Amino acid sequence: MSSQKHDAEEHEQILHEMEEQFGLLFDRSPVGVYLYVTDVHKICNERMAQMHGMTVEQWRNTPTFLNDFIAEEDREMYARNYQHHVAGLRHPVTFRFRGLRKDGSTFAAETDMIPLSWRGHAVAYHFVREIS
């Protein structure tokens, strides 16, 4: 089995386990919540999908996270915060950004990025709130 195929299967298993573990939080949260392992391996709650003008299934099946969910002017800052605080499992970070909807419009938001390790993989655990 190739390493890439093995990683994909492990990422799917991680998401399945996390959906079971965090399902109640996803269902009851008044804000958007998502877990991100890779662009292909991510899950969100209904509120998160709605913020982006999508269904949960559409959100989950988007091909690229930054290009599909984050306004162009904030992509570099968003990626930098993820890389410096979450991917290295350093510490949570809160910041504001402009989200991108399916129709191309944007919205102001604030996120709490929380680094989480699951089966030895860095997982981004995010809470997102629309702000005015």
46 CB-near residues (< 8 Å, 6+ apart) = 56
R_g of the chain computed on alpha carbons: 14
CB atoms within 10 A of CB 106: 15
What pLDDT sits at residue 104? 96
- Its pTM stands at 0.86
Q: Looking at the domain that runs over 3-130, which CATH code has it been given?
A: 3.30.450.20
Which has the closest alpha carbon to 101: 42, 53, 46, 49?
53
Bridge partners for 26 per DSSP? none
The answer to whether the beta carbons of residues 118 and 10 sit under 8 Å apart is: no
The answer to whether the beta carbons of residues 111 and 97 sit under 8 Å apart is: yes
Provide the residue-wise pLDDT of the chain in tens; the chain has 132 residues.
456 666 788 888 888 898 888 888 888 999 999 998 888 889 999 999 999 999 999 999 999 999 999 999 999 999 998 888 777 767 889 999 999 999 999 999 999 998 888 888 888 889 999 997
Which has the closest alpha carbon to 124: 33, 26, 50, 54?
33
